[in-house]
Amino acid sequence: MNFALESSLEARPEHELERSPETAYLGLGGNLDGATAAIASALELLDANPHIDVRAVSSLYQTAPIGLTAQPDFVNAVAHIETRLSPEDLLSATLNIENLLGRIRTERWGPRVIDIDVLLYGRREISTPRITMPHARMHERAFVLVPLAELDPGLRIPGSTETVIEAAHRLANETRIVKVTEAGLPSPNRDGVPGTSTIAST
């Protein structure tokens, strides 16, 4: 991979990163020009971090905006990673990548070229001023649950009685979400070709 991630995390003493790898899931999305390429670059930057291993990536989905609806549709995906970083350090790594790729925060729910959310970190439930785990409202978001169901359909989000696939089917019938690429790392130069999904409604 051609991207180098400069991060203070890499300079930390080894003993601070001597932990067993933890499974985590990240949500990635964007709706400005170049969003698909930014998602691909973000995945490469994540995998370039020596403490993060990108294990699988869902298909890309075109989804309707939430909150601020007068903006372009989003492209969304979910990545399964293994990491030795703590939840807080993983969040810092994702924010660093957003900055490197030109994320500018102007308004809540507003347009963005890239957004990376830490959705789940193992079975951990965390509530601090900086991080909430599972990610707030992920159980209500088709653009999170539909791609997540591709990667782990039997997963249960901590605090939920539904499996991810059950919730994904329910939410996909309530919102517009369309698969635009098959699962795997999207090419930075590919915008996606409309496809079909066994979960997402078309």
Which of 34-43, 82-91, 166-175 has the weakest average pLDDT?
166-175
Annotated catalytic residue within 47, 89, 115, 141: 115
Q: For the chain, how far is it from start to end, CA to CA, in angstroms? A: 34
**pTM score, whole prediction:** 0.82
To the query of whether residue 191 is one of the catalytic residues in this protein, the response is no
How far apart are alpha carbons 28 and 41 in whole angstroms?
11
Q: Are 126 and 163 in contact (CB under 8 A)?
A: no
pLDDT digits (tens, 9 = 90+) for 96-131: 999 999 877 776 766 788 999 999 999 999 999 899
Q: What is the mean pLDDT of residues 161-170?
A: 93
Range of the domain at 17: 12-179
Residue 132 lies in a domain: yes
CATH number of the domain to which 152 belongs = 3.30.70.560
Annotated catalytic residue within 47, 89, 112, 141: 112
Other CB atoms closer than 10 Å to residue 20's CB: what's the count?
Answer: 6
Residue 4 lies in a domain: no
Q: What is the pLDDT of residue 1?
A: 40
How large a percentage of the chain has pLDDT more than 70? 79
To the query of whether residue 115 is one of the catalytic residues in this protein, the response is yes
At 119, list the tokens: 């959705």
Amino acid at 76: N
pLDDT digits (tens, 9 = 90+) for 138-160: 988 999 999 999 999 999 999 88
To the query of whether residue 33 is one of the catalytic residues in this protein, the response is no
Residue 196 lies in a domain: no
Q: What is the pLDDT of residue 189?
A: 42
Residue 188 lies in a domain: no
To the query of whether residue 156 is one of the catalytic residues in this protein, the response is no
Residue 91 lies in a domain: yes
Q: What is the mean pLDDT of residues 164-183?
A: 87
133 pLDDT band (50/70/90 cuts)? very high
Instruction: Tell me the average pLDDT of the chain.
Output: 82
How far apart are alpha carbons 11 and 106 in whole angstroms?
31
Q: What is the mean pLDDT of residues 170-186?
A: 81
Residue 189 lies in a domain: no
pLDDT digits (tens, 9 = 90+) for 5-61: 444 444 454 444 567 899 999 999 998 888 899 999 999 999 999 999 999 999 999
Query: How far is C-alpha 196 from the chain's CA centre?
Result: 21
Residue 79 lies in a domain: yes
Residue 191 lies in a domain: no
Q: What is the mean pLDDT of residues 78-104?
A: 93
Q: What is the pLDDT of residue 197?
A: 39
Number of separate domains in the chain: 1
Annotated catalytic residue within 117, 152, 156, 191: 117
Residue identified by tokens 């102007």 is 106
